[in-house]
């Protein structure tokens, strides 16, 4: 076995001193090179055959690892529900389809809220649709409030596609992360998610949709986001939870044990 030596540390210390001369003084380079060369020479001598090693005796036969004795007996695996069984937590979660349904229904409620804003604000129901379409249609970026109040077929088509696709994506995303926060989906969907989403949109609206950033009524925008989140969370709560597969690993282990027991004894 190789003996312990401080030669690498001495050599590293010498190189450090030598490099420090760049900002310190030339004398550090001279001293550092002397120490580094000395450490290197001592290291080389330590690695020469017959030096820097010591002999270890063989471990006695009684202290060596013994071959593993395979037992022919089977082991009963712990089943789900038995004491000592390690459950996968949470044991029940909402299915991903619940988030999809919640996104669709929440998107419909959000659309009704936006149309209500257009009606009560005096702009008309097509105003929020055209504002949303301005994210994709460049011609809408040059329109004034009067033009945005009018009906535009292309704006209706594009706005509907953007709203439907966004609602579905947000609903699926909510359904995917829901197992990580299984309790109180109404709180996560109706309060936490709208706050995070509204803050993100508020910060990047000037880049995503400059026209909507100038024309949008932010209180109504926040109300529509909360309407979407509360509706989505309520729909998710009405869904039936599904159980996590707890016995999958047990069944796999049992199959491995059975295949091992079925092998013929070569001895």
* DSSP per-residue letters across 198-249: HHHHHHHHHHH-HHHHHH--HHHHHHHHHHHHHHHHHHHHHSPPEE---SHH
Contact 198, 221 (CB under 8 A): yes
Q: Secondary structure of the chain: what % helix, strand, coil (to 5)?
A: 65, 0, 30
Tell me which residue of 212, 180, 30, 192 sits closest to 96, measured CA to CA.
180
* Residue 93: φ, ψ to 5°: -135, 165
DSSP three-state, residue 14: helix
Least confident of 43-47, 165-169, 253-257: 253-257
Contact 101, 185 (CB under 8 A): no
Q: pLDDT of 170-228, one tens digit each?
A: 888 877 777 676 567 667 766 777 777 777 776 666 666 676 667 777 788 788 888 88
Per-residue b or e along 78-96, where b marks 16 or more CB atoms closer than 10 Å to that residue's CB: eeeeeeeeeeeeeeebbbb
**What tokens were used for 66?**
């013994």
φ/ψ bin of 79: left (φ > 0), alpha (ψ from -120 to 50), beta (otherwise): beta
Average pLDDT rounded to a whole number, residues 15-44 = 89
**What tokens were used for 241?**
């939870």
Q: Is the pLDDT of residue 34 over 90?
A: yes
Contact 127, 118 (CB under 8 A): yes
């Amino acid at each position: 076995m190789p003996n312990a030596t401080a030669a690498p540390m001495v050599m590293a210390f010498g190189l450090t001193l030598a490099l420090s001369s760049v900002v310190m003084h030339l004398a550090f380079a001279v001293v550092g090179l002397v120490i580094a060369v000395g450490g290197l020479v001592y290291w080389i001598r330590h690695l020469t055959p017959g030096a820097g090693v010591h002999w270890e005796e063989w471990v006695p036969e009684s202290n060596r690892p013994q071959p593993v004795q395979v037992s022919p007996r089977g082991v009963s695996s712990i089943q789900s529900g038995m004491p000592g069984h390690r459950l996968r937590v949470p044991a029940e979660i909402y299915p991903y389809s619940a988030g999809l349904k919640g996104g669709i229904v929440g998107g419909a409620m959000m659309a009704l809220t936006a149309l209500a804003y257009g009606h009560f604000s005096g702009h008309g129901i097509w105003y929020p649709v055209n504002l949303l379409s301005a994210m994709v249609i460049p011609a809408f970026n040059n329109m004034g409030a009067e033009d945005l109040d009018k009906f535009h077929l292309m704006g209706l088509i594009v706005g509907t596609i953007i709203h439907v696709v966004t609602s579905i994506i947000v609903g699926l995303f909510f359904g995917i992360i829901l197992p990580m926060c299984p309790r109180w989906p109404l709180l996560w969907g109706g309060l936490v998610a709208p706050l995070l989403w509204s803050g993100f949109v508020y910060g990047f609206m000037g880049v995503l949709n400059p026209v909507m950033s100038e024309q949008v009524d932010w209180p109504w925008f926040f109300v529509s986001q909360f309407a979407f989140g509360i509706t989505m969370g309520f729909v998710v709560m009405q869904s039936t939870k599904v159980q996590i597969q707890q016995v999958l690993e047990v069944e796999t282990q049992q199959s491995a044990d059975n295949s091992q027991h079925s092998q013929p004894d070569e001895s």
